[in-house]
Amino acid sequence: MKIVMLGAPGAGKGTQADRIAEKYGIPHISTGDIFRANIKEGTELGKKAKSYMDQGLLVPDSLTIDLLMDRIAQADCKNGYILDGFPRTIPQAESLTRALAEKGEKLDYAVNVDVPDENIVNRMGGRRACLKCGATYHIAYAAPKAEGICDKCGAGLVLRDDDKPETVQERLTVYHDQTQPLIEYYEAEKILATVDGTQDMERVFQDIIAVLGA
Ligand code: AP5
Ligand code: MG
């Protein structure tokens, strides 16, 4: 199964993608996580990506598309994958459609997790992220077992650099300008499913499962 997660920053794409990946036994691929891992390791790509991410802007397509194409060509992707945070622009979506078509493949679903802007800023301030394994927590809604420590890998949790309220606002603007048009793109491809992302995490997950099938 090949799935794309759509939704505003903080809509819960990463939270749901993790659970879907586990249920269907497919890799969860987040371009944001890949960039953050590169930033942590101090790679050239990380240095370039950070200058955009810290401002709430998108990393240019020229750095993002090849990275994602290389990732989905790896062996663990042969039975499918769930993409979280890619595509984020029409050129990214077109590149993906084209690359899949060349292999006679296509996406199965684009799941849009719908959350209005007013709910987002509140969620982001409470988020805590593990930069080592990509796990996501919330101090009120999804707290780790031990404060500040990742349940999955034991690394320290941090507030992401781009989760400051003014940066979140810019990310929302960028989302509406550049990423929201993908909803129409996948609607036209007849693979769009929208779920209400304001519900609690379990309900959102159940709604997604109802679309994807058991
Ligand atoms: P990325 O890491 O993809 O960030 P994002 O899209 O802004 O989304 P987030 O990770 O912030 O939110 P999410 O939807 O995953 O929500 P989460 O599950 O954490 O990208 C970061 C940056 O990298 C971009 O700004 C860009 O610069 C760059 N980038 C990445 N990909 C790119 C691309 N393809 N092209 C160009 N640039 C790219 O949930 C949020 C919080 O809410 C958590 O604390 C969670 O616990 C909580 N929560 C989740 N669900 C619920 C619920 N139902 N109820 C209550 N709380 C909930
Ligand atoms: Mg995420």
Please tell me whether the overall predicted TM-score, pTM, comes out greater than 0.85 for this model: yes
- Please indicate whether residue 95, judged by its CB atom, sits closer than 6 Å to ligand 1: no
Is the per-residue pLDDT at 195 higher than 90? yes
- Please indicate whether residue 179, judged by its CB atom, sits closer than 6 Å to ligand 1: no
Q: What is the pLDDT of residues 35-74, one digit of tens each?
A: 999 999 999 999 999 999 999 999 999 999 999 999 999 9
- The domain spans of the chain are 2-26+79-115+173-212
CA 19 to centroid of ligand 1, rounded, Å: 15
Q: Can 98 be counted among the known catalytic residues?
A: no
Q: Can 106 be counted among the known catalytic residues?
A: no
Residue 214 has what pLDDT?
Answer: 72
Residue with the larger pLDDT of the pair 164 and 170:
170
Mean pLDDT of 18-33: 97
Q: Can 19 be counted among the known catalytic residues?
A: no
User: Angle between the 201-212 and 13-24 helix axes, to the nearest 10 degrees?
Assistant: 50
User: Best substitution site from 119, 123, 171 to test ligand 1's pocket, by max atoms within 8 Å of Cβ?
Assistant: 123
Taking the C-alpha atoms of residue 123 and residue 189, their distance in angstroms, rounded to an integer, is: 31
Residue 164 has what pLDDT?
Answer: 87
Is the per-residue pLDDT at 11 higher than 80? yes
Indicate the average pLDDT of the chain: 96
CB 88 within 8 A of CB 30: no
CA 210 to centroid of ligand 1, rounded, Å: 23
- Please indicate whether residue 134, judged by its CB atom, sits closer than 6 Å to ligand 1: no
What CATH number does domain 2-26+79-115+173-212 carry, 3.40.50.300, 3.40.50.10260, 3.90.1170.50, 3.40.1110.10? 3.40.50.300
The neighbour count for residue 170, using CB atoms within 10 Å, is 15
Q: What is the pLDDT of residues 82-115, one digit of tens each?
A: 999 999 999 999 999 999 999 999 999 999 999 9
Taking the C-alpha atoms of residue 129 and residue 18, their distance in angstroms, rounded to an integer, is: 13
CB 81 within 8 A of CB 163: no
- Please indicate whether residue 127, judged by its CB atom, sits closer than 6 Å to ligand 1: yes
